Amino acid sequence: MEPRDVVVVGGSAGSLAPLRELAAALPPGLPGAVAVTIHVGERARSRLPWILERRGPLPAAHARTGEPLRPGRIYVAPPGCHLLMPAGVVELSNGPRMNSSRPAVDAMFASAARWFGDRVVAVVLSGLLDDGAAGAVLVERAGGLVVVQDPKEAAQPSMPQAAQAAARTAISLPGAELGRAVSGMLGEGGLVDWPHTEPRDTGEVSMEEGSDLRFLSHGETGLTRLACPDCGGALAEAVLPHITYYRCHVGHQFGPKSLAAAQAETAEAKLWAAVAALEETAALARHLGAHAEGSADPGGQPDGTVRWATDLAETFRARMQHPPETGAPAGPEPAGAADPLQA
């Protein structure tokens, strides 16, 4: 078997500190390429490569489509693009968001698992919700190693916890130990302390196209009646041993926590739209009633419509402005909320 030579690192809120520690501990001449995806706003100007290059000995830059992955370099996903690596060549994709994010950790992990298999070390750092969990399972099933920042010390433990629950062989380490441990997993020397495991079938990562109206791709077990929060298409369910995730036919993908948060945000938008429609209904009924007064054909009494629409709009508005303490799940983290990576 070939030695491991690809490291993929993902994180979100609270991930900057452990990422800097990891970069500082990677030695010059690292026998592997390092790809990094951190949630940032899609229109942000990220300074992450500059931060990592100042912190450690390895050169770092935003990845560029068409450049080959080379050992001893750090490639950072730029804002608004998934970082993929088909056949060892960088591809920046504006494809569908995963877990309401682009770049998404799951997209990078899945690409690494597909193209490099057991040569991959996947690292999950601090972050909200569960981006990276499904991708960690794909890396694990391909025979690669999964490492998570110890959730007990993570500023936001949700992402490492979700990855650890989904990939049961994941290794949990404090942030200060990640760089040294990951370095030891690479190259010929890493084969002694960290032998390869037998890979399992990972299947195809991308959606198949065909005439089947169910739109099920490899690994999807069935359609649900849930609508994709991003495009409204039907969501298919994909079941792995310790995680279930959801994907629509155009490629939007959600872990369970991310889907719950996105659905809550979608429901809120629909309820505010309902408030707007009801208030417009009441206003229109009053307008028509005023113009109908004294006419030969009053066209009915608008008072009932006004009362119904006004009362319902006020009820919705009050409930939306003053939710119960244990209400809907929190929505997706704001764009660019991962860390102060923007200039």
Kindly list the catalytic residues: 12, 39, 131
Q: How far is CA 81 from CA 14, 38, 40, 122, 335, in A?
A: 21, 11, 10, 19, 14
Look up residue 332 and give its two tokens: 């997706």
Structure tokens belonging to residue 13? 């809120």
- Residue 224, class by beta-carbon neighbours within 10 Å (0-12 exposed, 13-18 middle, 19+ buried)? exposed
Q: Tokens 């380490």 identify what position?
A: 173
On whether the CB atoms of residues 134 and 111 are closer than 8 A, the answer is no
Residue of 271, 280, 274, 276 whose CA lies nearest to 323 = 271
